[in-house]
Structure 1
């Protein structure tokens, strides 16, 4: 039996504690009473906030209320909205055909930003195909690592590889979120790690760069950052749920 390629990551200092803290934060947020009665409204708001945060991380920051009002027509922002809206429909396909889903995410994210002929096609390069294949193998069941670890590796590897011309960061963040959804960690897509990444953007950039070095310390810093981003996403869910909650009338 082949060794699990991600198993050693669980032995890195403080990673298990960070994963546990994130799991506890998500579990607590998921118990909010608003999710039983206003779950659809909460999910729609989280989708909007994830899209706005992902666009900001890509360098296209806009006020959330302007995006909500539909007055922001910038292509990357519109791409982030399309991606966020499409995630639920891609959950089942993601572990079965990861490369197909990545291509679809790029089309959604980059339409209007790059020539149509380049949409959904990975860039050329000696490492791109093999590394995408290796990543797809992990997503398709090649590891038994916790979902948050796999999501962080998917995210970090796609950021490092930059396999698409248009908005590779948007694709990377969406793929990470899909991993959490398809694994059952966040089946309803109620956690927006993008909000956490944006709240700690300098750390996000630095930790992603550290992950790309492949060193144990670099990978450790990225895993801890991703766990914290999920915890912050859980806090955002609680905030949205509180704002959405209306007590049932007697």
Structure 2
């Protein structure tokens, strides 16, 4: 099964739900229920009393934990305490930290000019990993499929935000447009999608931790299923992303409770 993106279509448009190229994804086995579970988990987090006036504190800690988990999914797992103390200099970790910390100002631009944001994400993620001339420059192999993905990001959609975020994540991981730090960039773009589309507007959940808790091997297997393009593989990836989102919401709740305890 190939996700039906339309290369070259990049302008936002209001379309009836029946014309939504992603609508059929909700009919894949388990996807609709998993998406509803993810939404419910995020809603529980957003109802936490700390969100009334201290959500920024939760968001800051979420960004730190998300950066650590994203690096761990790249095979670089470091203690959170060392990261908090500024004792980790590994380039993958530093790139993940820079990317995570910079997401806030990119939210509005992501839905209008995703190519611009994607280039910036790669500059941040791969600054110490790639040649300067290659930073922010997708390879020629990525062109048509990347343009099609951008058309999904900029258009309206009837599917839940968690499903669109999963497609963004899966497509960027499968395309690997830059050849370095593509995983970190894909996860950052997925989080941006969830924030911009109203799934987690306060950026207080930690979906990266959700993926890490489900296991790096399971993450890799689910991504491979998506990349293969068959319906069962696509469904498995979407459900996996929804489950990770639920786990990420629980991590956000844990952060909020820890802040309440002081």
Instruction: Say which of 168, 180, 196 aligns to 1:166.
Output: 180
Match of 1:179 in 2: 193
Q: Which digits, 9 at most, give the CA deviation of each residue in 1:67-114, with x for residues without a partner?
A: 110010111111111111110100000010011111000000000111
Question: 1:114: which partner in 2?
Answer: 130
Distance 2:214 2:133 in 1: 35
CA distance in 1, matches of 2:79, 2:237: 28
The answer (yes or no) to whether the contact 2:67–2:96 under 8 Å persists in 1 is: yes
Aligned to 2:213: 199
Map 1:20-31; keep pairs closer than 5 Å: 20-31=36-47
TM-score of the superposed pair, with normalisation by structure 2 = 0.90
2: CA distance, partners of 1:176 / 1:39: 20
2:87 corresponds to 1:71? yes
Match of 2:145 in 1: 131
Q: Where does the alignment leave 5 or more consecutive residues of structure 1 unmatched?
A: none
User: How far did residue 246 of structure 1 move?
Assistant: 4.8
Matched, 1:208 2:223: yes
Within the candidate set 34, 39, 56, 1:18 is matched to 34
1:137-182 deviation per Cα after TM superposition (whole angstroms, max 9, x unaligned) = 0000153321111100000011111101220000000000000001
Over the aligned positions, Cα root-mean-square deviation in angstroms equals 1.4
List gaps (5 residues or longer) in structure 2. Answer: 1-14
Q: Which runs of 4+ in 1 moved over 6 A?
A: none
TM-score in terms of structure 1 length:
0.95
The one of 240, 245, 250 aligned to 2:255: 240
In structure 2, C-alpha distance between the alignment counterparts of 1:222 and 1:166, rounded to whole Å: 22
What is the rounded CA distance, in whole Å, between the counterparts of 2:208 and 2:48 in structure 1?
A: 21
Secondary structure of the residue aligned to 2:155 is: helix
Counterpart-to-counterpart distance in 2, 1:40 and 1:102:
24
Q: CA deviation at 1:124?
A: 2.6
**Once the 2 structures are TM-superposed, how far is the Cα of residue 4 of structure 1 from its aligned partner?**
1.7
8 Å contact from structure 1 (residues 34, 246) kept in 2: no
Give per-residue Cα distances to partners, 1:207-239, cap 9 Å, x unaligned. Answer: 110000111100100010000000000000111
Name the count of aligned residue pairs.
245
- How far apart are the structure 2 equivalents of 1:4 and 1:35? 33
Q: Secondary structure of 1:130's match?
A: helix
| Residue 74 of structure 2 corresponds to residue 40 of structure 1 | no
Contact (CA 8 Å) 2:55, 2:202: kept in 1 or not? no
Report SS of the residue matched to 1:203.
Answer: helix
Which of residues 150, 154, 164 is equivalent to 1:150? Answer: 164
Separation (CA, whole Å) in 1 of partners of 2:53 and 2:195: 21
